[in-house]
Structure 1
Amino acid sequence: MELWDKNMKTTEVVFEAVLPVLKLLSMALIGLLLSHPKIQMIPKPTLRLLSKLVFFLFWPCLIFTHLGPVISVKKFIQWWFVPINVVISTAVGSVLGFFVALICRPPPEFFRLTVIMTAFGNTGNIPLAVVSSVCHNEDNPFGGTCYDGIAYAGFSQWVSVVLVYTLIYHMMEPPLEYYEVVEEGTEIEELTNLPTGNENDLSTPLLIEAEWTGIEDQRTEHCQTPLVATIFNSISDVSQSNTPDIESIREMPSSPRSYGCLAEPKVVRKIRIVVERTPINQILQPPLTATVLAIVIGIIPQIKATVFGSDAPLDFITDSLAMISDGMVPAVMLVLGGMLWEGPNESKLGLRTTIGIVVARLLILPLAGIGIIYLADKWNCLIADDSMYRFVLLMQYATPSAILLGAIASLRGYAVGEASALLFWQHVFGLVSISVYIFIYFKLLVTLF
């Protein structure tokens, strides 16, 4: 059965749409049951270990073994709309989040959080899990090229990570007003009491560690400083009592001074300080490293012939990595089940704002995505006659907020409980909304695209 068959019955489309999600839901329920306190077959330390395996092993192997054999210079150019679509979905989500914040009126310190949690979706493990589940059956509606969807999803990783560690990182800094009212010395005391990787602390929610294992080890004093607000606010508007001033930041060893008569303009200096405090060194996480390696090897024919293919000398290594990658989807869903058992964290965001974010992210944004992809198809921006390509692009609008946002919130000390609670509720309702939109996408791919 091919997806472009115009004679598909509605019941067949419903079955093909619901079945992949039912598989994922079953695995998540198993994880939920096995992590139940009365059973404790998978205690929290085990789930953390499983999360580390996903982050450092299963996920990179899945991307590398599916993206590498498919990518080439020609396809690298043809797939240009995949990263652009991530940027578009983030921009449209930001607009929706802004309206949600205006309508629902969250507490002022959570205005930016409302925009961020609506804007930035999960373009990593959830699309990969959905595509893998759809392609698991030999009679899947996408045919023999179904697993190209994993390559498409993996190809979008780099732009997502760059957005998180640059734009989102600075947007999630603590509000300056909140920072000022903290008593002097409180931040230092909190920082000295932070758990380290050697203390085997289990208090960090699984949500936070799910896409950034070892987050606690990356936290420093500067992570929880409202750097951008401090630098770009004038002295007359900002109290200098408890916040670091520009001069103290500028004099730090990592910030080179201006030389002699080559006086550095104030705006340039401010931008430079912000750039220097951006954690660029954290961008090359294992999944992104796997993406970069797969692209580099895939676009160089001589190296590609050595690594990928049944006749390749290193084919046995690639096969081994492919076998390891098979654990990606089950492990992710087991961790998700354990995460759901933890329940939502306490949140001061408010019920109305929480509902507004969930509705905007899971219901309204996917509808906007349908219109965007339809226009892109009509303007010949997409690969011709590739239904899986369109399906992956549509899925980028339908996923819950990126779990990595919870990790960034923890790193920056900003709205950790609120971010975790939002992620929890989005993933709960996302099980239903993703099923509905997969059905809609399948139907549209049959009749419209």
Structure 2
Amino acid sequence: MGFANLFVVALMPVLKVILMTGVGFFIASDRIKLLGSEPNRHLNNIVFYVLSPALAASSSAETVTFQSFMTLWFMPLNLLLAYIFGSILAWLLIKITKTPGHLQAIVIGCCSAGNVGTLTLIMIPAVCEESNNPFGDPSVCSLHARSYASLSLAIGAIYMWSYVYGIIRLYVNKTIENDSTSETAAESCTELDVLPSIDVDGIPLLTTSFNGTIAKLSAWKKIMRRMKSISEKVDLKKVFAPTAIAAIVGFIIGIASPIRKLLIGNEAPLRVVDSSAYILGETAIPCMTLIMGGNLSRGLNGSDVSRTVIIGIIGVRNILLPLIGIGVVKAALHLGLIASENKLYHFVLLLQFAVPPAISVGTMTQKFQLGQCETSVIMLWTYVIAAFTLTIWSTLFMWILA
């Protein structure tokens, strides 16, 4: 296929995402106000606690079997590498741009977590629906596309709400502790200034005692902080969010044959449970896309986030990570870790490195009450640029694979 034809195939799914996001953007505007701050928060909670878990559970339970999971085993590793490389690049970006402490968690989240759920569920089946797609018969392609996209969503949910959520919470706690330490130090200095200075044989006793106490408190605080950090890492109730737990439950249902026969299929005794979860899950995609549009509209208000940080995040997500993704998939092919004939699977693996930041990062900043305006601005610009770069990368990926 020619490059121009591949470009058209890649453009159609991106246009669908733009149109659906545009609806959310429009109804959240100041003129319409159907998706204002309060409705957005309530809808976000519904997606977080109900719709997204239903989607992750039903999708993984229906499409993931023991055989398919063994065939697609590299996808969890591929996604993990994408998150790790994104985190490393985010750390370098923070050091280079000297990002303020209250924005570091947002930078980490935007660089490490890609939108491997909503976008893949929309884009990959849409690519297959094009008659001139490079992946074969549209009906067969669409069947595999939903399986791959669902697995990407489920695994992404686990990484998102364990790995990324843990890192963001760690940075948020670090920022709060630094602010508290600064306030405590300022208060201590104020108290020291009003106390009389008493010297015995020329030795400032008060200052010496004060410095020694501060050193002991500082060492004790570091020990306590480390113990707290370790305890938080093993606290599974706080680490795993509803979507991640639901995805794990879906995996168990899909892989365990006796449980699968009870819930999945037209003859399953408890098929009504799966059907209900499926209906709820289907509504998650449009709701998440509307929320995405609503969050992006808030980026028009501006914030104090520097252009350098925004450009850096765009460079990481839209340029560096896709290049790294090509290297990862090529290396996996060379080492025989993935089958060479499954081009659609390769395309999904590559696309996981090229998507813009996950909208769930905005959900996390809302829950932590941290830099919501800054997150909206970053999301707005990364998604505007991604409308072009995602089309180009998708075209390039298909051209490489074809």
TM range (shorter): 0.7 to 0.9
Q: What percent of counterpart residues are identical?
A: 22
Q: What letter is aligned with 2:153?
A: G
d(CA) in 1 for partners of 2:41 and 2:106? 26
Which position in structure 1 is the counterpart of 2:329?
Answer: 373
1:280 aligns with 2:236: yes
Whether 1:144 aligns to 2:143 is yes
Q: What residue number does 2:288 align with?
A: 332
Aligned position for 1:4: none
Please list the CA deviations of residues 357-406 of structure 1 after superposition, one character each: whole Å capped at 9, or x if unmatched. Answer: 21122122111111111111221112453333222222221122333444
Max Rg structure: 2
Residue 445 of structure 1: aligned partner: 401
Of stretches 152-161 and 42-51 in structure 1, the one that deviates more from structure 2 is 42-51
Corresponding position of 2:22: 29
Which residue number corresponds to residue 261 of structure 1? none
Letter in 2 for 1:9: G
Checking the alignment, whether the CA contact within 8 Å between 1:83 and 1:159 is kept in structure 2 is no
The one-letter code sitting in structure 2 at the alignment partner of 1:174 is K
What's the secondary structure of 2:116's corresponding residue? coil
2:70 paired residue number:
77
Please give the alpha-carbon distance, in whole angstroms, between the structure 1 residues aligned to 2:5 and 2:101: 48
Matched residues in 2 for 1:238 and 1:131: separation? Answer: 61
Q: CA deviation at 1:153?
A: 0.7
Could you say which residue in structure 2 is the equivalent of 1:170? Answer: 170
Alignment partner of 1:361 is 2:362:
no
Q: Distance in 2 between matches of 1:307 and 1:138?
A: 34
Name the CA distance, whole Å, in 2 between partners of 1:41 and 1:108. 34
Please tell me whether residue 53 in structure 1 is matched to residue 46 in structure 2: yes
Amino acid in the other structure paired with 2:171: M
Distance between the aligned counterparts of 1:317 and 1:326, measured in 2?
Answer: 14
Instruction: Return the offset for 1:408.
Output: 4.3
Task: Kindly state the Cα deviation for residue 85 of structure 1 after the two structures are TM-superposed.
Answer: 1.8
Correspondence list, 1:205-224, <5 A: none
1:89 matched to 2:74: no
Q: 1:329 to 1:137 in 2, by over 3 A?
A: farther
Deviations, residues 149-185 of structure 1 (Å, cap 9, x unaligned): 2232134132332212434421343345544323689
More helix by share: 2
Moved more, 409-418 or 162-171: 409-418
1:22-421 mapped onto 2 (5 Å cutoff): 22-107=15-100, 114=107, 117-134=110-127, 141=135, 142-156=141-155, 157-175=157-175, 177-182=178-183, 246=220, 271-278=226-233, 280-343=236-299, 347-409=303-365, 415=371, 417-421=373-377
Distance 1:113 1:29 in 2: 24
CA–CA separation in structure 2 for the residues paired with 1:316 and 1:139: 37
Give the counterpart letter for 1:163 in structure 2: Y
* Residue 23 of structure 1, CA deviation: 1.0
Deviations 1:206-236 (A, max 9, x none): xxxxxxxxxxxxxxxxxxxxxxxxxxxxx98
Question: How many residues align structurally?
Answer: 371
- What's the secondary structure of 2:29's corresponding residue? coil
Distance 1:116 1:28 in 2: 21
Distance in 2 of aligned mates of 1:271 and 1:146: 44
Which residue identity lines up with residue 151 of structure 1 in the other structure?
S
User: Alignment partner of 2:174: what SS?
Assistant: coil
The answer (yes or no) to whether the contact 2:154–2:244 under 8 Å persists in 1 is no
Counterpart position of 2:203: none
| CA–CA separation in structure 1 for the residues paired with 2:70 and 2:341 | 17
Give the superposition deviation at 1:19. 0.5
Q: After superposing the two structures, state which structure 1 stretch, 305-314 or 157-166, moved more.
A: 157-166
Query: 1:109/1:371 Cα in 2 relative to 1: closer, same or farther (>3 Å)?
Result: same
Q: Is the 8 A contact 1:63 1:150 kept in 2?
A: no
Give the whole-Å Cα distance in 2 for the aligned partners of 1:149 and 1:182: 50
Q: 1-side partners of 2:327 and 2:213: how far apart?
A: 44
Unmatched segments (≥5 aa) in structure 2: 136-140, 188-209
In structure 1, what is the Cα distance between the partners aligned to 2:392 and 2:212?
A: 49
Contact 2:125 2:142 in 1 (8 A): no
- Distance in structure 2 (CA, Å) of the matches to 1:443 and 1:64: 34
Q: CA deviation at 1:282?
A: 2.8
Between the aligned partners of 2:57 and 2:132, the Cα distance in structure 1 is 25
Match of 2:4?
Answer: 11
Separation (CA, whole Å) in 1 of partners of 2:304 and 2:180: 17
The alpha-carbon deviation at position 143 of structure 1 amounts to 4.5
Q: What CA distance in whole angstroms lies between the structure 2 residues aligned with 1:97 and 1:238? A: 37
CA distance in 2, matches of 1:172, 1:358: 22
Which range moves more in the overlay, 359-368 or 124-133? Answer: 124-133
Q: Which of 379, 384, 400 in structure 2 is aligned with 1:428? A: 384
Report the Cα offset of residue 20 of structure 1: 0.8
1:314 CA drift (Å): 2.4
Superposed CA RMSD in Å reads 3.5
Match of 1:211 in 2: none
1:207 is aligned to none
With normalisation by structure 1, the TM-score equals: 0.71
**CA 1:397/1:420 → structure 2, altered by over 3 Å: closer, same or farther?**
same
TM-score normalised by L of structure 2? 0.78
CA distance in structure 1 between the aligned counterparts of 2:41 and 2:401, rounded to whole angstroms:
38
Letter in 1 for 2:148: G
Is the contact made by 1:122 and 1:401 (CA closer than 8 Å) also made in structure 2? Answer: yes
Whole-angstrom distance in 2 between the partners of 1:412 and 1:75: 37
Q: Secondary structure at the match of 1:327?
A: helix
Decide whether the 8 Å contact of 1:132 with 1:329 is kept in 2: no
Whether contact under 8 Å (1:152, 1:389) holds in the other structure is no
Rounded Cα–Cα distance in structure 2 between residues aligned with 1:244 and 1:346? 38
- Residues 417 and 38 (structure 1 numbering): CA distance in 2 closer, same or farther, change over 3 Å? closer
